[in-house]
Structure 1
Amino acid sequence: MKRFVHGLIFLLLPLFTLAQSEYLHWEVKAGKVNDSSYNILTEINIQPGWHVYAETDAETGIDALQLVWDNENIIPDGIASFSATPSQVTDPVFDNKKFSVFLPGKLMLTQKIIIKGTVPASLKVQLKGFAASSTAFLPIDEAPKAVAFEGGIEQSSKDEIKLSTIDLKNPAEPCGDAHTSGKSIWIVFLLGLGGGLIALLTPCVFPMIPVTVSFFTNRAANKNQAVKNGMLYGFFIFLIYVLASLPFHLIGNVQPEIFNNISTNAWLNIFFFIVFIIFAISFFGYFEITLPSGIAGKVDSKSGLSSVSGIFFMALTLVIVSFSCTGVILGTLLVGTASDGAWSLTAGMAGFGTALALPFALFAIFPNWLKSLPKSGGWLDTVKKVLAFVELALAFKFLSNADLVEHWGLLKREVFIGIWLLITLGLAAYLFGWLRLPHDYKGQKISTGRKVLGIAAFLFALYLVPGLTNTPYANLKLLSGFPPPLSYSIYHKDKGVEAVVINDFDKAVQLSKAQNKPILIDFTGWACVNCRKMEEQVWTEPEIASLINEKFILVSLYVDDRKKLPANDRFTYKPADGKEKDIITEGDKWATFQSENFAQVTQPLYAVLSPDGKLMTHPVGYTPDVKKYQDWLNCGLKAYDTNK
């Protein structure tokens, strides 16, 4: 029981973060000992009523107060020393166990360090540990502070970010798209609309349509009132989903690359993988997922027809109650559009909300249409279980994203396709009645619709089979972007057009000068769907492959690569807007390189440069038209030959 309580405390710690000023203040500076050794001096002021744990305790998981940094070339020289002697206190949270703690007041933490190689101009350090008062217990996770080193050298890597030679408004040739974006807003809206229509067919939503519309028509004083209430109800459903996207507009103002970072974050993708697996098992019928009844009950208690606010809460109740069915569909939509920015998210949410809202409004206006609405029944359960198979397949797409970004090597292309093949065969077996799931019964009649879907699933499984082979037929063009790239294979054989250089723009420039060829920059991502489509549907065409391989120096820059830069290559970049950004990973560097030089944050993005960094054409993004992409490449070559 004691271990359970301790574990619960640490699980809940992220929920109890407080501002720095509430438990301590701190400042940091460095004193030079010799050319490769410094003392980092941290002055800490522990606030009244608080104490900070001085020693690590393995049983409870409490860590001692310490100074940490992320640079393998800077190592501690001995243990840290403190200006005060710890006191002993008993903690009722941990069964009155005794701990060594630092009490309120000033405290100096001194840590001697040794620097291998070049001394940097500064180092970002953090205070870590745990603090407690009579009413709170929380981790110390202070925002990093920079400590300057006397005689340190500014990292030159930041000069690689901004290329003064690039003039986006005046390329050598005005071909290509001057402004490239991701998915069209209207396409995203239609995708959201499609997702909403699918959600309508789930058991959480479909049965609510006739019940809610009947409620409006029976309770209203007249037909006009019923129509007004129904339209208002539909509008509020739409509004709730649109409002849910507003926070993304706020965080989007922080850094332009934040949406790409969200959509390619490995741990977020693993979280979605787990969530989709759980939802799939639930949709199979093994258990039911519902939001806490208190949430729905509290909202429902405020709903009703007596006021506009009452109708709003009725709409909010539907959104909450239907979440167990709509959540996964909505999650897929959000993750799929996140890298395109806040407005794409809003468009997707608007489409989703429109699809859910329309039936309620239309049936309120034309209540006779309810007679033609299919009755709820076994077909809803079939839809739910088909969605479960789809969710199971999508779950592995999220796991694949994490695997690609972190280079774990778990889900190679053939393994991924093999999993999808098994899921598809399982779907076909279910639709034909060969596989029974909870709530199915022996001898259940299989409808014609199920048989047609079963045949379609079986044909899709046959289409997947060549993807397991090491043959030219392994390129499943209809699925480009969903499986891992062709080069990420168990056969250890790269396929298609290969980048001459990966994540090294300087090397590409050197090769460009040596071979007298223009540079083709490919801003890409390991988890980028449209990037894979370009590589597997466009670059594989003979005329494109020969152009790229023979006429260009292709450099692929991965904006979502989580591999850390060497310690000496990490730095803090300060763009024109003054907002500093830490360049820690390969992805940080190339995402910033793209946004600073090309004013774009979506992938793929292609640009042709001369060896001296001049822009040959307007950059282009996702271009599935082979002829159009070929013309753009030829335009870049023409511009390069003309401006040699």
Structure 2
Amino acid sequence: MHHAKRIRLTLMVAACSAALCFAKEDPVQWTLIPVNGTSEVAPGGNAWFELKATIQPGWHLYSPTTPPGGPIITKLTLTPNASITGKTFYRPQPARKLDPNFNIDTETYSGNAVFLLQVVTSKSVPGKVPVEANARYQACSDVKCLPPVKKSVAAELSVVAGAAAVSFALPAGYIPVAGSSDSTTTTKATTTPVVFGSSNASRDLLPFLLTAFGFGLAALFTPCVFPMIPITVSFFLNQDIEKRSAWRQALLFCVGIVVLFTGLGVLVTAITGPFGVVQLGSSPWVNSFIALVFFAFGLSLLGAFELRLPSGLVTSLDRASQGGGYAGTLLMGLTFSLTSFACIGPIVGPLLIASVQSKGFEPVLGMMSFATGLAAPFFLLALFPSYMQRLPRSGIWMVRVKVVLGFIVLAVMLKYISNVDQVLQTHWLSRERFLAAWIVLFALPGLYLFGILRMEGVNKDQPVGVTRALVAALFLIFAISLVPGLFGARLGDLDAFVPEGSGVSLAGTGTETATGTCFKNDLDAALQSAREQNKLVLVNFTGYACTNCHWMKANMFTRSEIQAVLKNLVVVDLYTDGTDAESEKNQKLEDQKFGTASIPFYALMDAEQNVIATFPQLTHNVQEFRAFLEKRPVAARG
């Protein structure tokens, strides 16, 4: 008798011990609560719930996106209910790391994992609706895994006629769980794209016009424009006119530039299409011609030979000026426009495209503001030509300035040669070769000004002044600062003008990189990859010869906070300025889908090509660009 009691007591103790043991091996607790505490919804409306997994320290769950062939993933389901006609589960971004046991990248949740559940109620009679969510999962630690279990948690929903619609936007990083949505009944996310950046249509007109005016002033310092200043000023200085007539000619010259630039830009855009103007800056023929011109100009400044205007052009200008001041002014304005347009085409490209395609007046006003900014300095110099006469006319300093400018012009020439190399994809002018040439070309002016390099304007017996020494030191410092770039170091804003290194480009062949899955000129493959991985697609309309595009790749996409977001996207680079059929196809896509030709242009879309957000320009604001990358569809509200 006592023996039987002892056996029963032993069995009870063992059972209790086992129960306590299993109770300890339950590291995940689930809860289901309405979002924002709202449990009332109108018939046929949407309701949102938080399905929260509280995971004990040291344990983790496997995301539904973990690749096949690995551990058991978390599977979420909803118990069928006639009062619920549709549902979708949304998951947060998991942590990703290599699991040596399975030799694959696994995606896990630890701590508190909050899933979201959207349900659509039927349009039947209002009442209480039970909502039961089920989770089948496997909890693992670093040393062991528990057997898979299935848990259910429930909440109650009140369907009330006339209840207020639930307003809720998906937090950043949440995307639907594959296979969890009833596509025939669940309301879809809105696809109205959000425009980030200063190109948003809601911006004020005044800042836009001031920006365009500033671009015009900046364009004054481009290589094709700046050399025209002395020619233009000399033309006005040679006019023997009264002050009132000078004022009229100055105004006519300014208006002539504005009208001719606007008319020429609209004409070129209308004839060549929306990409014609932008591609002036990337055309191999245009860049080769400009490089040749700058090579000749640089050698001339260095004293190799003397460049003069064709005698026929000089004669024509003289006859025009003698035949009538106003006609000469218009001719000078036309000559200026034609000479400078090729260099600043990429700057005015977006404005010209907008002036053709838009139904409003803002693009035209922007183009006029740009041209006004470009013409304003000429207007002032033409109005007050005496200021030019007061400038020093001669001296050894002019010879030194000419020689220094010669080296700078040759350095600028390399940029145009690099454009040809990148567009044609010949890859003979690599980043290292380009920087080596720049280091030499920027070091030589420093050596020249210090008197080490003997050329015209240097007298070995003349001491080096303070100003001359400081300028020489600046050139040498700049040249030395380029040396780290030879070994892969980033150069900040200068990377916009330097060819890309071998590790800068985001695009690949669909393989995993530091910035996620990347493709080049293959949107279809990127969309297919997005479907398989249940990710969004970042479409990057870019260019081989686009300096702003290079800056974004080198200085924005390489930032750790941006790369962390890019890992959750499929990135595809679509080049629009090449000479191949792919570039032409990408041009048409950008024009037809987004109505623009500007680059860089970024679009965030889902695997069905529904545009979620766009970012139409370069930006130095990291948080603004990250907010664009983290934009997700806003679920429809019932």
Normalising by structure 2, we get a TM-score of 0.59
Aligned counterpart, 1:361: 383
Pick aligned residue for 2:344 from 315, 322, 334: 334
- Distance, in Å, in 2 between the alignment partners of 1:340 and 1:426 is 38
Residue 486 (1) aligns with residue 501 (2): yes
Residues 192 and 348 of structure 1 are in contact (CA less than 8 Å); yes or no, is this contact kept in structure 2? Answer: no
Determine if contact 1:229/1:311 at 8 Å carries over to the other structure: no
Deviation of 1:458 after TM superposition, in Å, equals 1.0
Q: Deviations over 1:179-203 (max 9, x none)?
A: 4699942232121344599948976
SS at 1:500 equivalent: strand
Cα distance change of structure 1 residues 386 and 527 upon mapping to structure 2, 3 Å threshold: same
Aligned equivalent of 2:594: 598
Q: How does 1:109-258 map to 2 (within 5 A)?
A: 171-172=191-192, 174=194, 176-177=196-197, 179=199, 184-194=211-221, 199=226, 211-212=237-238, 215-216=240-241, 226-242=242-258, 244-245=260-261, 246-254=263-271, 255-258=273-276
Whole-Å separation in 2 of the counterparts to 1:446 and 1:279:
28
- Check 1:331–1:622 CA distance in 2 against 1; reply closer, same or farther (3 A cut): same
The answer as to whether partners of 1:202 and 1:384 remain within 8 angstroms in 2 is no
User: Is the 1:518–1:611 Cα contact (8 Å) retained in structure 2?
Assistant: yes
Q: CA deviation at 1:237?
A: 3.6
CA offset digits 1:107-162 (Å, max 9, x no partner): xxxxxxxxxxxxxxxxxxxxxxxxxxxxxxxxxxxxxxxxxxxxxxxxxxxxxxxx
Secondary structure of the 1:506 match is helix
Instruction: State how far apart, in whole Å, the 2-side matches of 1:280 and 1:327 are.
Output: 21
Deviation at residue 611 of structure 1 after TM alignment: 1.1
Quote the residue 1:548 is aligned against.
Answer: 566
Aligned equivalents of 2:598, 2:553: Cα separation in 1: 16
Q: Conserved in 2, the CA contact under 8 Å of 1:508 and 1:555?
A: yes
Q: Which residue, 625, 629, 637 being the options, matches 1:629?
A: 625
Gap runs ≥5 in structure 1: 1-169, 217-225, 564-584
Could you tell me how far apart the structure 2 residues matched to 1:426 and 1:455 are?
A: 11
State the AA in 2 paired with 1:233. Answer: Q
- SS of the aligned residue for 2:321 comes to coil
Tell me if structure 2 keeps the 8 A contact 1:524–1:605.
yes
Indicate how the Cα distance of structure 1 residues 277 and 457 shifts in structure 2: closer, same or farther if over 3 A, else same.
same
1:91-106 correspondence runs (5 A): none
| Kept in 1: contact 2:496–2:547 (CA 8 A) | yes
Q: Distance in 1 between matches of 2:526 and 2:224?
A: 48
Aligned-partner SS, 1:480 = helix
Q: Which amino acid aligns with 2:626?
A: Q
For the structure 1 residues 620 and 538, does the alpha-carbon distance in structure 2 shift closer, same or farther, using more than 3 Å as the test? same
Judged with a 3 Å threshold, the aligned counterparts in structure 2 of structure 1 residues 275 and 525 are, in CA distance, closer, same or farther, namely: same
Q: SS at 1:252's partner residue?
A: helix
Q: Structure 2 matches for 1:515-530, cutoff 5 A?
A: 515-530=533-548
Answering whether residue 402 of structure 2 is matched by residue 406 of structure 1, we say: no
Name 1:416's counterpart in structure 2: 434
Shift of 1:248: 3.1
Give 2:380's aligned amino acid. L
Distance 1:282 1:625, change over 3 A: same
TM superposition shift of 1:529:
0.8
Matched to 2:247, the amino acid is: M
1:434-449 mapped onto 2 (5 Å cutoff): 434-438=452-456, 442-444=460-462, 446-449=464-467
Q: 1:535 is matched with which residue?
A: 553
- In structure 2, distance between residues paired with 1:553 and 1:282: 50
% same residue: 25
- Aligned match of 1:290: 308
Task: Report the Cα offset of residue 317 of structure 1.
Answer: 6.4
The residue identity in structure 2 corresponding to 1:176 is F
Instruction: Compute the TM-score of the two structures, normalised by the length of structure 1.
Output: 0.58
Measured after TM superposition, the shift of residue 327 of structure 1 is 9.6
- DSSP 3-state at the match of 2:602: strand
Instruction: State the AA in 2 paired with 1:520.
Output: L
Question: Contact (CA 8 Å) 1:333, 1:348: kept in 2 or not?
Answer: no
1:547 and 1:456 map into 2 onto residues whose CA distance is 39
Cα 1:410–1:347 shift into 2, 3 Å: farther
Give the count of matched residue pairs.
422
Tell me which residue corresponds to 2:609: 613
Aligned to 1:522, what secondary structure does the other structure show? strand
240 and 387 in structure 1: CA distance in 2 versus 1, 3 angstrom threshold: farther
Alignment partners' CA distance in 1, 2:547 and 2:279: 15
Cα distance between partner residues in 2 of 1:316 and 1:445: 47
SS class of match (2:303)? coil
Residues 403, 345 of structure 1: alpha-carbon distance in 2 compared, 3 angstrom cutoff: farther
- Is 266-275 or 184-193 further displaced after alignment? 184-193
**Preserved CA contact (<8 Å) 2:280 2:342:** no
| 1:389-436: CA deviation from partner (whole Å, max 9, x where unpaired) | 221111111111111111101111111111111100112122223223
Partners of 1:383 and 1:197 lie apart in 2 by 18
Given the superposition, is the C-alpha separation of residues 348 and 437 from structure 1 closer, same or farther in structure 2, using an over 3 Å criterion?
A: farther
Residues 208, 188 of structure 1: CA spacing in aligned structure 2 closer, same or farther, 3 A cutoff? same
The residue that corresponds to 1:507 in the other structure is: 525
What secondary structure sits across from 1:301 in the alignment?
helix
Amino acid at match of 1:508: A
CA positional deviation for 1:510: 0.7
Q: In 2, distance between residues paired with 1:234 and 1:316?
A: 13
Is the contact between residue 234 and residue 315 of structure 1 (CA under 8 Å) also seen in structure 2?
A: no
Tell me if structure 1 keeps the 8 A contact 2:423–2:545. yes
Of 516-525 and 343-352, deviating more is 343-352
Alignment of 1:449-468 (within 5 A): 449-468=467-486
Deviation of the 1:335 alpha carbon: 4.8
| Distance change in 2, residues 1:370/1:428 (3 Å) | closer
> For 1:178 and 1:442, how far apart are their aligned partners in 2?
54
> Which of residues 250, 253, 263 is equivalent to 2:281?
263
Specify whether residues 205 and 295 from structure 1 end up closer, same or farther in structure 2 by C-alpha distance, changes over 3 A only: closer
| Cα distance in structure 1, aligned partners of 2:254 and 2:285 | 31
Larger CA Rg, structure 1 vs 2? 2
CA distance in 2, matches of 1:640, 1:503: 29
Task: Confirm or deny: 8 A CA contact 1:431 1:454 kept in the other structure.
Answer: yes
Q: Distance in 2 between matches of 1:173 and 1:521?
A: 14
Q: Kindly provide the amino acid, as one letter, of the partner of residue 359 in structure 1.
A: L
* TM alignment of 1:70-81, pairs within 5 A: none
Residues 284-309 of structure 1, C-alpha deviations (whole Å, 9 max, x = no match): 222222222122223313424xx8x3
Query: Higher mean Cα deviation, 496-505 or 332-341?
Result: 332-341
Deviation at 1:316, TM superposition (A): 4.4
Aligned CA distance change for structure 1 residues 525 and 251 (closer, same or farther; 3 Å): same
Offset, 1:445: 5.7
1:56-95 aligned at under 5 Å gives the runs: none
For 1:413 and 1:589, how far apart are their aligned partners in 2?
Answer: 28
Q: Is the 8 A contact 1:188 1:347 kept in 2?
A: no
Compared CA separation, residues 379 and 359, structure 1 to 2 (3 A): farther
C-alpha displacement of 1:504: 0.7
Counterpart of 2:571 in 1: which secondary structure? strand
Compared with structure 1, are the counterparts of its residues 434 and 193 closer, same or farther at alpha carbon in structure 2 (3 Å cutoff)? same
The one-letter amino acid of 1:334's match is I
